[in-house]
Amino acid sequence: QKEVEQNSGPLSVPEGAIASLNCTYSDRVSQSFFWYRQYSGKSPELIMSIYSNGDKEDGRFTAQLNKASQYVSLLIRDSQPSDSATYLCAVRPGGAGSYQLTFGKGTKLSVIP
Amino acid sequence: DAGVIQSPRHEVTEMGQEVTLRCKPISGHNSLFWYRQTMMRGLELLIYFNNNVPIDDSGMPEDRFSAKMPNASFSTLKIQPSEPRDSAVYFCASSRTGGDEKLFFGSGTQLSVL
């Protein structure tokens, strides 16, 4: 059973702080890793993807991947109230079945003004 | 460019009734996915189509669920008969290919089975 685990939260951070969201996965052959943001009552939207160990930065967002530890994280710098949402970690294996995305249940983030 | 279009947005029905959810993927996308989201189980893949052909339906809960994709621009997910435990948000998503291409989600159908 392939699993993706996230702390459900809620994670509360003050405006301007760094929000750190964490995700662990069980399938060692996983090759691709994604972070989706889902506002309440809306559909998920992709905000970051990462495929190699290390950090990947995009604006205020940084994704971090450590395949040896089976760990992926998302940092949000200078958090804004508009960042308040549920963040879903998703993992995809390589090769056969590479279409199959396994999602975590999400971490709810609240940014307090 | 229109995104993935789902209908209806909300569906309330009684146990035992047939429910049909509809999806129009983004033009040019050849991969289509149906997901179900609940608080308890999160987002689960129900079925995946590639070039209108069902590739993986292992996530379909049971025979009460069926999905079709008669052409590249339309797909349906049918539940017959519906049960209260089917209550969830059902999302349709599409991508250009089934690999690492970005997944675009529709706005979802909130299904309530009474």
Express each pLDDT in B3-47 by its tens digit.
999 999 999 999 999 999 999 999 999 999 999 999 999 999 999
Report the alpha-carbon distance of residue A35 to residue A8 in Å, rounded. 15
Q: Which of B30, B34, B43 to mutate to test the interface with A (most CBs of A within 10 A)?
A: B43
Contact check, Cβ <8 Å, A44/B105: yes
Phi-psi category of A61—alpha, beta or left, where left has phi over 0 and alpha has psi -120 to 50? Answer: beta
Report the alpha-carbon distance of residue A46 to residue B95 in Å, rounded. 12
- The pLDDT score that the predictor gives to residue A9 is 85
Report the alpha-carbon distance of residue A58 to residue A52 in Å, rounded. 15
Contact check, Cβ <8 Å, A42/B107: yes
Report the alpha-carbon distance of residue B114 to residue B96 in Å, rounded. 37
Q: Which of B55, B103, B106 comes nearest A101 by C-beta? A: B103
The answer on pLDDT for A101 being more than 90 is no
The winner for highest mean pLDDT among A28-32, B92-96, B102-106, B110-114 is B110-114
The answer on pLDDT for B73 being more than 70 is yes
Confidence of residue B1 (pLDDT cuts 50, 70, 90): low
Q: Which of B43, B50, B108 comes nearest A103 by C-beta? A: B43
pLDDT of A10-53, one tens digit each? 999 999 999 999 999 998 888 899 999 999 999 999 999 999 99
| Residue A37 touches chain B, beta carbons under 8 Å | no
> How near does any CA of chain A get to the CA of B102, in Å?
7
Report chain B's mean pLDDT, rounded to a whole number.
93
Contact B111, B90 (CB under 8 A): yes
> How near does any CA of chain B get to the CA of A63, in Å?
16
Q: Could you say which DSSP state residue B26 is in?
A: P
The answer for B 38-77 residues in CB contact with A (under 8 A) is 41-45, 48, 50, 55-56
Which residue of chain A is at minimal alpha-carbon distance from B103?
Answer: A46
- The pLDDT score that the predictor gives to residue B98 is 63
Contact check, Cβ <8 Å, A45/B105: yes
For residue A97, CA distances in Å to A89, A91, A100, A102, B48 come to 18, 12, 6, 11, 11
Contacts of B33 in chain A (CB under 8 A): 99
Contact B4, B103 (CB under 8 A): no
Report the alpha-carbon distance of residue A70 to residue A13 in Å, rounded. 26
How would you write B59-101 as a 3-class SS string? CCCCCCEEEEEEECCEEEEEECCCCHHHCEEEEEEEECCCCCC
For residue B47, CA distances in Å to A18, A30, B21 come to 37, 20, 14
The answer for A 55-94 residues in CB contact with B (under 8 A) is 88, 92
Half-sphere exposure of B84 (CA within 13 A, CB side): 1
Query: Which amino acid is it at A84?
Result: S
The answer on pLDDT for B103 being more than 70 is yes
Half-sphere exposure of B66 (CA within 13 A, CB side): 8
